Amino acid sequence: MASLIKIITWNWNKYYADLGCDAKNFFFEALNIRNKISHQEAEDIPNEDALRALDTIKRLAQVCGHKPTEEIASRHHKAIFIEVSKNPDAEGKKKTKESSGSEDQVEGLKVEKLMLDELDEKLSQAFSGRVVRKDLVKKLKIGFSIPVYVLEYLLGKYCSTTNEFEIIIGLEMVKSAITERIVRGDQTELIKARLQKTGSLKLIDLVTARLDERVQGGKFWARLASAGLSNVHIDHDTVYKQERLLTGGIWANVEMIYNDSLDEGGAIRPFAIHRLAPIQIARVDFEEYIGGRKLFTRDQWIDVLIRTMGYEPTHPDFTQRLKLLYLLRLIPMVEKNYNLIELGPRGTGKSYVYREISPFVILLSGGQGSVPDLFGWKSRRDKPGLVTKYDLVAFDEVAGPNFKQE
């Protein structure tokens, strides 16, 4: 692993453009693992950390095409996995990490044995590695104000399997990621203290950016919504590469650093974003999805879509007509210039799908907004319109919409 990291590091400028988002994440995580355990005895490493490290190394080796490292990591991962499966209670006594999140929110989470139906089995075979259990999403979401697709990203990374033991181990990794990286709004001062103490911290948060035109040449500032951190340094290249930071923000893996030598206008601004990786699938093989779709009948595929949205198609209240009406909500996401108005009482899921299942959709509440906000400001590259940056712009509670000209 050390040799592989050195090769990539020495040829970083050459490989950087070719590495996908996931590959870059695997590399930096592997680098952190190497730095962390280089002076640590093997018996002091918890099995949970070892499994996560070996999984990262295996995935990094896969994207780099380095078979020897991949085989070694897979062999050790399997050996530790078997050991943990035989004695799962022992792992709970080896917790050593300091968490920045809220452990009590997920500590009591239990994995119930799930009886897979024919559709589940078929889906797992057709889209191996891309299927997650929706019941786990629901349980993990309790206590955290984060979109479903963020949790599904984590579950897809560690729990995309039908093997019960692998799900248990993967779920521990997801719980670890949640407790370490996802924070509550009342933990702002704790996050600041941790950053000041350690110098760096990894978080999962909703990140937005704004341009301070009062600074000569312009200066971008970032804000982390859940952590409550504002006036965070972020470089221009990151903002221009991820322009949705300026239009509602994006959920991302963020590496924060603390540097009290940073100042602006005479005031010390020590917090900065060192690295930002949006939470989304780095690459989609459309042909693979077309090939998988051919294995399902029309009615089966409708049930797959309904279940993907978070509903249970086998429920007796779900008639064929009701299923199609629910699927109507997805049409604006895939069809250009498709306008849809849905009327109904509160609590019926009208806005749920637009708020939770995709990072390429933005939901505006109250029907408020302006024409420049939607379509962009003249001669302002830092003010792209929402319509230009999102596949879909949805409005919630539009009883009295008011679109101002400015």
pLDDT tens track for 311-367:
889 999 899 999 999 999 999 988 988 988 888 887 777 888 888 778 788 888 765
pLDDT of residue 96: 37
Residues 243 and 161 in one domain: no
Say whether 239 sits in a helix, a strand or coil: helix
Domain finish residue from 278, 302, 317: 278
Task: Break the chain down into helix, strand, coil percent, rounded to 5.
Answer: 50, 15, 35
Residues 218 and 136 in one domain: no
pLDDT of residue 296: 93
Tell me if 267 is assigned to some domain.
Answer: yes
Report CA Rg, the chain: 23
Residues 171 and 196 in one domain: no
Say whether 380 sits in a helix, a strand or coil: coil
Domain finish residue from 246, 262, 278: 278
Residues 172 and 190 in one domain: no
pLDDT of residue 14: 52
Report the candidate in 20, 29, 15, 21 with the shortest Cα–Cα distance to residue 57: 29
Residue 152 has pLDDT above 90, yes or no: no
Q: Which tops the pLDDT comparison, 163 or 336?
A: 336
Tell me if 270 is assigned to some domain.
Answer: yes
**Would you say the C-alpha torsion 195, 33, 139, 127 has a positive or negative sign?**
positive
Residues 116 and 216 in one domain: no
Residues 53 and 165 in one domain: yes
Residue 282 has pLDDT above 60, yes or no: no
- Give the CATH number for residue 193: 2.40.50
Tell me if 403 is assigned to some domain.
Answer: yes
Domain finish residue from 123, 149, 181: 181
Residues 59 and 177 in one domain: yes
Q: Which tops the pLDDT comparison, 20 or 1?
A: 20
Supply the range of the domain harboring residue 388.
341-406
- CA 294 – CA 228 distance, rounded (Å): 47
| Band of residue 3 on the pLDDT scale cut at 50, 70, 90 | low
Number of domains in the chain: 3
pTM higher than 0.85, yes or no? no
Residues 45 and 120 in one domain: yes
For the segment 28-47, the average pLDDT, to the nearest whole number, is: 59
pLDDT of residue 241: 86
Q: DSSP alpha helices (H): ranges in 215-364?
A: 236-241, 286-293, 298-308, 320-327, 331-334, 352-356
| Average pLDDT score, the chain | 75
Residues 15 and 124 in one domain: yes
Residues 191 and 262 in one domain: yes
| Band of residue 99 on the pLDDT scale cut at 50, 70, 90 | very low
Dump pLDDT digits (tens) for 289-315.
Answer: 888 899 999 999 999 999 888 888 999
Residues 230 and 272 in one domain: yes
CB 315 within 8 A of CB 295: no
Residues 57 and 11 in one domain: yes
Considering only 8-12, 243-247, 368-372, which range has the smallest mean pLDDT? Answer: 8-12
